[in-house]
């Protein structure tokens, strides 16, 4: 056998690989690799003790990736609770009170997003925009992806 046998074995291995790759569409391989990557990311996100507040806003990696969110310095500041709210400024003794100008509570990020009556119109507009984006993405599905934002805090 010797040298010729080795060549045959190499060739057989090569052909097998070619057949194997030919039988699985590239798109399926990419899809599986992406799925595994997202699952790994979700596990790490679930286990980390960092970013607890950010996790409340963005608990699910897959849903977050589906949303087309324009990341801006302000959005990042808000979801990481480093936004210049009165609560934040008061915590660092920059201002005397954390009371929101609406008079219904402390001006925290949660208050601004879910509760502040002064932002009710903007909140409704954003919910409608999100519902519209969801309808464009999946016209025949229910809008479960936007439930959290649309229905507000639980
Ligand atoms: Zn308020």
Q: How confident is the model at residue 145 (pLDDT cuts 50, 70, 90)?
A: very low
Environment of ion ligand 1 (residues, CB < 5 A): 100, 102, 116
**Distance (Å) from CA 83 to ligand 1 centroid:** 15
Q: In 7-108, at which residue ranges do the beta strands (DSSP E only) sit? A: none
CA of 88 to the centre of ligand 1 (A): 14
Higher pLDDT, 13 or 72: 72
User: What span, in angstroms and rounded, lies between the C-alpha atoms of 132 and 145?
Assistant: 12
pLDDT in tens, 1-36: 456 656 655 666 665 555 455 678 889 999 999 999
* Ligand 1 geometric centre to CA of 136 (Å): 32
pLDDT digits (tens, 9 = 90+) for 41-68: 999 999 999 888 888 888 999 998 988 7
Residue 131 CA to ligand 1 center (angstroms) comes to 25
Q: Is the whole-model pTM more than 0.95?
A: no
CB 125 within 8 A of CB 150: no
Phi then psi dihedrals of residue 14, to 5 deg: -60, -45
State how far the Cα of 84 lies from the Cα of 149, in Å rounded to an integer. Answer: 22
* CA atoms in the 13 A half-sphere facing the CB of 68: 8
């Amino acid at each position: 056998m010797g040298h010729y046998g080795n060549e045959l074995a190499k060739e057989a291995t090569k052909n097998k690989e070619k057949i194997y790759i030919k039988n699985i569409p590239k798109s399926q391989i990419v899809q599986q690799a992406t799925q595994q990557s997202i699952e790994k990311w979700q596990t790490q996100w679930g286990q980390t003790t960092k970013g607890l507040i950010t996790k409340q806003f963005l608990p699910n990696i897959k849903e977050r990736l589906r949303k087309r969110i324009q990341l801006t310095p302000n959005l990042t500041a808000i979801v990481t609770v480093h936004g210049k709210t009165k609560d934040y400024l008061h915590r660092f003794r920059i201002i005397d009170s954390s009371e929101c100008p609406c008079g219904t509570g402390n001006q925290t990020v949660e208050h601004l997003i879910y509760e502040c009556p002064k932002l009710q119109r903007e909140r409704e507009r954003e919910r409608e925009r999100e519902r519209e984006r969801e309808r464009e993405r999946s016209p025949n599905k229910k809008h479960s992806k936007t439930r959290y934002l649309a229905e507000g805090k639980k």
